[in-house]
Structure 1
Amino acid sequence: LLSIWTNLWYLLIFNLVLFDLIITRMVDWTLRKYGLPRYLQYTIEWIAILILAVICSFSIKVLLVEAYKIPTPSMEETLLAGDYIFVSKLAYGPRLPQTPLAIPFYHNKLPSGKKSYSERIIMPHKRLHGFSKVKRNDVIVFNFPEGDTMVVQYPGQNYYSLERQYGRDYILSEFEIITHPVDKRENYIKRCIGLPGDTIQIYNGEIMVNGEIKPALPLQKFKYYVSTTGDPLPDSLLDSLKILKSSVTYNPVNSLHVLYLASENLESLKSYPTVRSVKKYSEPTLSFQNQEIFPHSTDYRWTGDNFGPLKIPSRGDTIPVNTLSLPLYQRIIDVYEQNDLEVTDGDIYLNGHPATSYVIQMDYYFVMGDNHHNSADSRYWGFVPEDHLLGKAVNVWFSLEPDKSFVEGLRKERIFKSIK
């Protein structure tokens, strides 16, 4: 830990030598000198081996690298559902556990549904030194910022989305609610689009960072309307374009397909003989508020394709606190940075005192999925705080297509593929 904390990585070699000399050679692991019965010696030795294995694997998971499985298509084509990836904790620095009283290898719940951790001890956020800082276009893993509250009966649903649809009183009266500390919230993976201090804007589906258009990635997917001469697109074409048949909607009345396509395959689709037209979908600015789009306020009529401009807060920034800016930064002030925020008769109070400004205490990030029109990301729930960061996705170590057998679903071409 000292080697990582001080950023002196060469000391790790010294630590390994020291461990070999002291632990493996100077300690009598056989327990023979104590005169214990042989069966008791074997039992103690196996228990010690198991404890050591748990400690080593847990230390690797927390400090070095952790394996994750991709469950959804929100990062296609960069990452596919069924990919198993390695995430480097050293990239941005290992984050120490905030809930140390937990059952190893269970993230936040046991198979029975009960919590796998205790909140009797909650440690403050602490991150050790890492190799680098987050950069634009990094694929990062983090705890879901709005995952602090969950509806037990609907674990895959966003509590705050349900609250906006059905009302807080109804949700609290009809369902069981649980809360999670930061390190026990669900893990998400997205691409970092904006860094602290950046200004993000999306205009007709094009992303602009600090006023400059960000080119679409070759594997980035968008939603398209595809019109044909009368027949549905054949499975062979869909397979060649890496389009899942289950994700395609087809209307035989007007021969219209709705599908998600990677940018690099667009020309191949257009050149197919039965394709008459291909139009990229763009969600227009609405005359009314889309309540699912951040910041969920009637003052902002943003959509997934026409969003912002939005300034990403950086540590030390002073932001105005008023009724217009509050929807953008209220969750930062109130939840992430744990201030007591109240609005009374139009006046805003922070920790009991009238406030017109606030100094940001953490860095924040703006993230999006590569599957532009099929991703719940910062456009829907806002910023990612720095204390939610877990690590950087570095490579795919295994890949198996969902709902298929091992032989049919194995994607050999993706094994040991770097993530860019």
Structure 2
Amino acid sequence: MMDMCGFLKSYKRNHYKGMAFIQKKKEREEDGKKKKSAFREWVDAVAFAVVAATIIRWLLLEAFTIPTPSMEGTLLVNDFLFVSKIHYGPRTPKTPLQVPLTHQKIWGTDVPSYLDWLELPSYRLPGLSEVKRDDVVVFNFMNEFQYPTDLKTNYIKRCVGMPNDVIEVRDKQVYVDGKKAKNPEHMQFLYIIDTKQQLSERIVEQYSLERQLAEAGSRPYQVVGQQYRYYLHLEPGVAKKLEALSFVTKVTRRDVQKGRSVSNIFPSAELGWNQDWYGPIKIPAEGMIIQLSKENLIKYGSTIVNFEGLENPELKEGKLFIAGKPVDSYTFTQNYYFMMGDNRDNSLDSRFEGFVPADHVVGKALFIWLSVNNYGGLGDRIRWSRIFSGID
């Protein structure tokens, strides 16, 4: 009996010791969790935010700013917009060794933001749709060969020509397959405005000319005889309103004559084209076969060499060589698009830079979330009417 009592007392002592040990262990673990420093918590929060933002930026949406007037008056300088990656499908990165949330360089420096030690093939994941005619599209600038495709400078233009379309410009009007294309609602051209007096502040504000005149310098006009001459990019409707003003003597759209060759026109000045009289030229499509005649080499040779991913392509002796062997015909491996700015006389677009390859397409412009007028007064610095407006 005494042995049994001793056993029970010993069991209880050991039991309580064991429970105390477990309780102290739990308290130590909780203390360890509680003792995580504020700095550690801050680092964890920042790391989570960076990872989440990187995934959203790659997969869904990315913020862009309009730096140039090539899409005015549809998009204005310092419009801030969101671009959808999911519409056309996000691309896998070519250079995975990159500082998160950067593009070509680390913020505020000239230091590259990526390492080219490892480059992977880029693939496009499934999207909601294909690129469509009249979409406002962000794409990588084609002729910037020092960067991987997805890190080239971003451009934004309107898609006016699809794969297999025959594109042509006649007297500034775009034609697709011989038919007039739809013009953007706020399309602009360059006009020469002759006036008896300088444009007043009221007129400048009424027609939103502040940026153009400010960028033209301290004297934004030429003196021609007794008149003032302004060069302004305007919508045709605005040009007509200015022409009706009593002090305006003449309004002339600045046109380039048919047959006048421009040296930097795509694909070659040999064709005698310019920005107002361009084409006709067929836009390459995946699977399209062409015979490599002299004319087709002029039209398509640079596109094949630069964007088709071939092994050692060369243009020499009036022929195309692939891996050292001459070829008489060629089958395109991807789709291409023809992009133009809505400000038709102030846009570096496909008329000068060539077809946009499908693998250079970034995404579709969705809506403006902020718009800032650098030349506005304190009260109208923000263009409130443009906030959360869609892009057509």
Question: What's the TM-score bracket when you normalise by the shorter of the two chains?
Answer: 0.7 to 0.9
1:343–1:147 Cα change, 3 Å:
closer
- Structure 1 Cα separation of the partners of residues 278 and 325 of structure 2: 33
How far does residue 184 in structure 1 lie from its aligned partner after superposition?
Answer: 0.8
Q: Decide whether the 8 Å contact of 1:299 with 1:324 is kept in 2.
A: no
- Structure 1 Cα separation of the partners of residues 377 and 198 of structure 2: 27
2:200: which partner in 1?
A: 234
1:78: which partner in 2?
A: 74
1:261 maps to amino acid: L
Aligned length: 357
Residue 73 of structure 2 aligns to a residue in which SS? coil
1:18: which partner in 2?
A: none
Residue 362 of structure 1 aligns to a residue in which SS? coil
1:140 matched to 2:134? The reply is no
1:237–1:407 Cα change, 3 Å:
closer
1:68–1:345 Cα change, 3 Å:
closer
| 1:18-417 to 2 correspondences below 5 Å | 33=29, 36=32, 38-40=34-36, 42-110=38-106, 111-148=108-145, 179-228=146-195, 230-244=196-210, 245-246=213-214, 249-254=220-225, 255=227, 256-287=229-260, 289-295=261-267, 297-339=268-310, 340-402=312-374, 407-417=379-389
2:190 maps to amino acid: K
Q: Which moved more, 1:405-414 or 1:95-104?
A: 405-414
> What do the CA deviations read for 1:340-390 (whole angstroms, capped 9, x no partner)?
222443343222222111100010000011111011111110011111111
1:33–1:321 Cα change, 3 Å:
farther
1:106–1:352 Cα change, 3 Å:
same
1:35–1:217 Cα change, 3 Å:
same
2:4: which partner in 1?
A: none
1:35–1:329 Cα change, 3 Å:
farther
Q: Decide whether the 8 Å contact of 2:137 with 2:364 is kept in 1.
A: yes
Unaligned runs of 5+ in 2: 1-26
Q: Decide whether the 8 Å contact of 1:282 with 1:305 is kept in 2.
A: yes
1:305 maps to amino acid: D
Unaligned runs of 5+ in 1: 1-30, 149-178
> What do the CA deviations read for 1:119-142 (whole angstroms, capped 9, x no partner)?
122121211111111111110101
Q: Decide whether the 8 Å contact of 1:224 with 1:258 is kept in 2.
A: yes
- Structure 1 Cα separation of the partners of residues 94 and 121 of structure 2: 6
1:191 maps to amino acid: R
Q: Decide whether the 8 Å contact of 1:203 with 1:307 is kept in 2.
A: yes
Structure number with bigger Rg: 2
Residue 32 of structure 2 aligns to a residue in which SS? coil
Q: Decide whether the 8 Å contact of 1:366 with 1:378 is kept in 2.
A: yes
- TM-score normalised by L of structure 2: 0.85
1:282 maps to amino acid: D
How far does residue 328 in structure 1 lie from its aligned partner after superposition?
Answer: 2.3
2:113 maps to amino acid: S
- Structure 2 Cα separation of the partners of residues 67 and 347 of structure 1: 44
- Alpha carbon RMSD of aligned pairs, Å? 2.1
How far does residue 44 in structure 1 lie from its aligned partner after superposition?
Answer: 4.2
How far does residue 298 in structure 1 lie from its aligned partner after superposition?
Answer: 4.0
2:202 maps to amino acid: S
How far does residue 299 in structure 1 lie from its aligned partner after superposition?
Answer: 2.1
1:154: which partner in 2?
A: none
Q: What percent identity do the matched residue pairs reach?
A: 36
How far does residue 264 in structure 1 lie from its aligned partner after superposition?
Answer: 3.2
- TM-score normalised by L of structure 1: 0.80
- Structure 2 Cα separation of the partners of residues 414 and 105 of structure 1: 26
Residue 390 of structure 1 aligns to a residue in which SS? strand
- Structure 2 Cα separation of the partners of residues 231 and 141 of structure 1: 41
